[in-house]
Structure 1
């Protein structure tokens, strides 16, 4: 069998099998369905950042997030996005090979349509590329060439700079997350200079901080210890700053906590505090005569969940600042 050369894949990427139904797709995508180009761009972004290191492509949270960013920036939030569709249908383009879960080979072989996450994760393990293509995308110049082909073939001239920006946001977010872990090994300060991270785009900083915090706490709320992860990798927790970013400009992981949505809100509003020895405090403002608040009040003086790495523990200075400036230690007189 002859070895497939770069030109073969350049042509493949320029002639993807796409939905081209008139009036269904906008001029900014050259009236073509953008699902496959977005997924391939997202995949190459993750390869560039060493988030995909073997020839096994999984539909995980990183790939979905990268795909979603392209979709939202170009198509907006209102038009439904679904990375399952291109992941499944890329099999028709000759270089993308689906692999079934053990025992589901026949189900995959006979399937004609998989379009929901439930269907996908019950049948498909992942995909591999042609070995020649996988080798090709390890090279930065070749990867950029394939990106250029996708961008120039399937998107209008006005849209192309947006796609370049999305790739930059993704690359910077992973770079920033690595820098934050390195920063956690140094001296902690309550406030960083606002210009310190200006070399990163704001969206990249937000995403990078979230990546570090969610990973550090194993996708678990530091207060209630709830951990819910959907099959595609989405989690119930958010990345919270102890000293708010608009005050501290500090994304040091030691100024962060992973919190579920409710406890993030309660922490920001001063209904929850954490002592320097990592005990949870519940403000007396929380009503004691309401059964609905019992679960929150029961957390009082419990230990918070701590990271595995002691160097990533919340810093005492940040916790003391939050206690002094945000925590509601007393009940206001008008509530008595």
Structure 2
């Protein structure tokens, strides 16, 4: 049984390029619990709030139920559900799972395999992260589900099941196109001649067929890259910055670094370089950006 391939091939709801990371999030959560506590069952009523939080923070912008993956992950051969009446899920409804005392855990064969090969857990976790989330979120997602695994492209023994290879030139091409300045705030820090804190962000995530092309990239500082991938920030049709109404920040730093960006034109790319393509902007707005955008900040009145 190739458990890494099974993790990479989870059957997910699909409609065009829509994100549906419900099953990967539940499996990551279950792997984290297994790593910390062994093979104890996870009672739905006890983990429901944890799963809600993960879906709200790392799932698609629309509301969704944690009952969905708890029930449907059974069909992928890595998860089992039991109730007071025996084996099998009572359905996809929250009430049914609660009323039946539903519990879930990794299937026995996978638990045996994880004990026999301690490296398997990390390899499964990494392929789930690579297939469903951008690298900027990997470390914090591992922390959120309680997983202790190494992330990053240079982890020894990393097993990739990806059908595409990343273009390692993209970072330099994107940073050059934006003249080594954050497209949101203009940050351009360097140590000597080496830029620091600047990253090439995919607008349409690589895991969702986003190409390694300049018109799918933004040069962003580390803060704004994280906020862009978390759906706090976005790009409007007029290439102006969107800020989610759901973002709350009361201090002057939050206002200056986030809320006051609303409506500001992107910095770059330099003349002659294609801006972010409309199809990639539209994907990010529909699949990552959270809620409605704030109104653009009013221009100051003339003195």
TM superposition score category, shorter chain reference: 0.3 to 0.5
Higher RCO by CA contacts (8 Å cutoff, separation 6 or greater) = 2
Give the alignment's TM-score, normalised by structure 1. Answer: 0.37
Give the alignment's TM-score, normalised by structure 2. Answer: 0.40
Instruction: Considering fraction of residues, name the structure with more helix.
Output: 1
Query: Higher Cα Rg: structure 1 or 2?
Result: 1
